[in-house]
């Protein structure tokens, strides 16, 4: 209760609040007038686009997947390029951003400890959390020991304000001077780009915790949303991300729109990124099938008794069959999962016991056994889909 009072009485965070309030107002007032009275050249628009991509991806591939989650390793040139872009994005120093983000994952949805808890509503999770000095927004950097020892990040943190001005005014202004339109470049590639990038990033904390599907877990509010993946450079697959946060991919399926994952994969091809971390297909599929069962069981729980019999005799008889089938499939699925877990334990044991020259033999045996179990998990998935289809029910 005392803490809740602290939330109510939280003092205004003057500098971030001024930036976050003044920039959209200035952009909304100046841009229409400027566009109506000035001709904007193609190079200025091009710079606007390029800086938007650079800053956007510096947040997603840099601050987020590289620094907060250590989902891969990057060549220092790439890391610093992202750091510069993220500084241009004016979303706080790497220390603040990553410490807050790790806290968000650790305490997701907790109204007291998640710095941008979706449980406090759209406004708070989108922007409100930065406007006041809430107790949940005080980061002590204990959760970023890997970053605080980084010399470059220390410099960025220490002179953060200076860096923000140097990049947003100095660098953007210099590019404007080179292409012959300082004010147009400062307005479009500077101010307008900044405001757009801000709110597109903020959508991840607000809308991506409100609208979309939950294919992997329903233990938190994070959602998968293709529409939101477009402005957020692939971060819209937020349900997957909250369940498997160390994966360098957010849109894990090859066809899911995640330009950040494509960028990281391309950097790896060029030798500029390495040790890309992924979750294996089996673990992912297991989470998905588990969720489908959970959903089906939740629906069935409303119409069946504890023995799984449909209570209301007026309901169609195929529902009884469906209920039986789901229960049967679930038992089978649990068997497979048990075997899979046993195999994983055995793999660790065998690897410990075997000499290194025989390890490849162990790997081969295990690989075959994994393959069989993997096929079974996929079969469970197909059976479930079939059952849903026969009932004309969509597992959403
Ligand atoms: Zn989140
Ligand atoms: Zn994250």
pLDDT in tens, the chain (396 residues): 677 888 888 899 999 999 999 999 999 999 999 999 999 999 999 999 999 999 999 999 999 999 999 999 999 999 999 999 999 999 999 999 999 999 999 999 999 999 999 999 999 999 999 999 998 888 889 999 999 999 999 999 999 999 999 999 999 999 999 999 999 999 999 999 999 999 999 999 999 999 999 999 999 999 999 999 999 999 999 999 999 999 999 999 999 999 999 999 999 999 999 999 999 888 898 899 889 888 888 877 777 777 767 777 666 677 777 778 888 888 888 888 888 888 888 888 877 776 666 777 777 878 888 888 888 888 888 888 887 777 665 544
Same domain, 264 and 156: yes
Strand residues in the chain grouped as ranges (E): 73-74, 273-274
Boundary (domain end) residue, out of 274, 291, 319 = 274
Q: In whole angstroms, how large is the CA radius of gyration of the chain?
A: 25
Number of the ligand closest to the Cα of 246: 2
Same domain, 243 and 306: no
CB contact set of 155 (below 8 Å; sequence gap of 6+)? none
Same domain, 184 and 313: no
CA distance 82 to 59: 7
Res 154: pLDDT: 97
Res 339: pLDDT: 87
The reply to whether 396 falls in a domain is no
Question: By three-state DSSP, how is residue 393 classified?
Answer: coil
Same domain, 207 and 227: yes
Same domain, 126 and 236: yes
Token readout for 223 is 């959602």
Boundary (domain end) residue, out of 250, 274, 298 = 274
Token readout for 370 is 């994994």
Boundary (domain end) residue, out of 274, 298, 324 = 274
> From the CA of 220, how far away is ligand 2's center (Å)?
13
Same domain, 78 and 151: yes
Same domain, 107 and 158: yes
Number of the ligand closest to the Cα of 206: 1
Q: How many domains does the chain have?
A: 2
Same domain, 303 and 179: no
Res 350: pLDDT: 78
Res 380: pLDDT: 85
Look at the alpha carbons of 289, 294, 297, 299 in this order and tell me if their dihedral is positive or negative: negative
CA distance 110 to 220: 10
Phi-psi region of 305 (alpha: psi -120 to 50; beta: other; left: phi over 0): beta
Same domain, 65 and 128: yes
CA distance 255 to 240: 15
Closest CA to 96 of 67, 71, 73: 67
Res 357: pLDDT: 67
Domain that holds residue 186: 2-274
Cα 76 to chain center, whole Å? 23
The reply to whether 146 falls in a domain is yes
> From the CA of 238, how far away is ligand 1's center (Å)?
6
> From the CA of 64, how far away is ligand 1's center (Å)?
11
The reply to whether the predicted model has a pTM over 0.75 is yes
């Amino acid at each position: 209760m005392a803490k809740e009072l602290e939330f109510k009485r939280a003092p205004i965070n003057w500098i971030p609040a001024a930036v976050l309030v003044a920039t959209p107002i200035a952009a909304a007032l100046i841009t229409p007038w400027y566009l109506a009275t000035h001709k904007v050249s193609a190079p200025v628009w091009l710079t606007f686009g390029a800086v938007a991509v650079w800053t956007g991806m510096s947040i997603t591939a840099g601050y987020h997947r590289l620094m907060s989650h250590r989902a891969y390793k990057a060549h220092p040139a790439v890391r610093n390029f992202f750091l510069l872009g993220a500084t241009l994005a004016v979303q706080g120093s790497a220390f603040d951003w990553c410490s807050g983000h790790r806290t968000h994952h650790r305490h997701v949805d907790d109204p007291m400890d998640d710095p941008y808890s979706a449980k406090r509503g759209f406004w708070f999770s989108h922007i409100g959390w930065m406007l006041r000095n809430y107790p949940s927004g005080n980061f002590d950097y204990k959760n970023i020991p890997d970053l605080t020892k980084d010399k470059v990040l220390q410099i960025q943190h220490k002179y953060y304000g200076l860096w923000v001005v140097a990049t947003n005014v100095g660098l953007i202004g210099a590019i404007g001077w080179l292409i012959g339109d300082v004010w147009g470049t400062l307005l479009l590639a500077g101010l307008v780009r900044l405001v757009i990038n801000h709110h597109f990033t903020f959508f991840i904390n607000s809308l991506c915790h409100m609208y979309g599907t939950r294919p992997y877990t329903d233990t938190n509010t994070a959602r998968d949303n293709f529409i939101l993946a477009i402005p957020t450079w692939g971060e819209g697959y937020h349900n997957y991300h909250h369940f498997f946060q160390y994966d360098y991919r957010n849109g894990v399926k090859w066809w899911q729109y995640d330009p950040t994952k494509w960028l990281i994969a391309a950097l790896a091809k060029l030798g500029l990124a390495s040790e890309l971390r992924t979750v294996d297909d089996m673990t992912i599929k297991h989470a998905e099938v588990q969720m489908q069962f959970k959903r089906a069981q939740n629906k069935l729980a409303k119409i069946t008794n504890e023995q799984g019999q449909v209570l209301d005799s007026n309901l169609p008889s195929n529902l009884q069959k469906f209920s039986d089938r789901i229960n049967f499939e679930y038992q089978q699925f649990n068997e497979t999962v048990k075997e899979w877990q046993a195999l994983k334990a055995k793999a660790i044991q065998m690897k410990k016991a075997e000499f290194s020259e025989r390890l490849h033999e162990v790997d081969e045996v295990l690989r075959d056994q994994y393959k069989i179990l993997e096929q079974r998990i996929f079969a469970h998935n197909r059976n479930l889909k079939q059952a849903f289809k026969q009932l004309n029910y969509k597992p959403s």
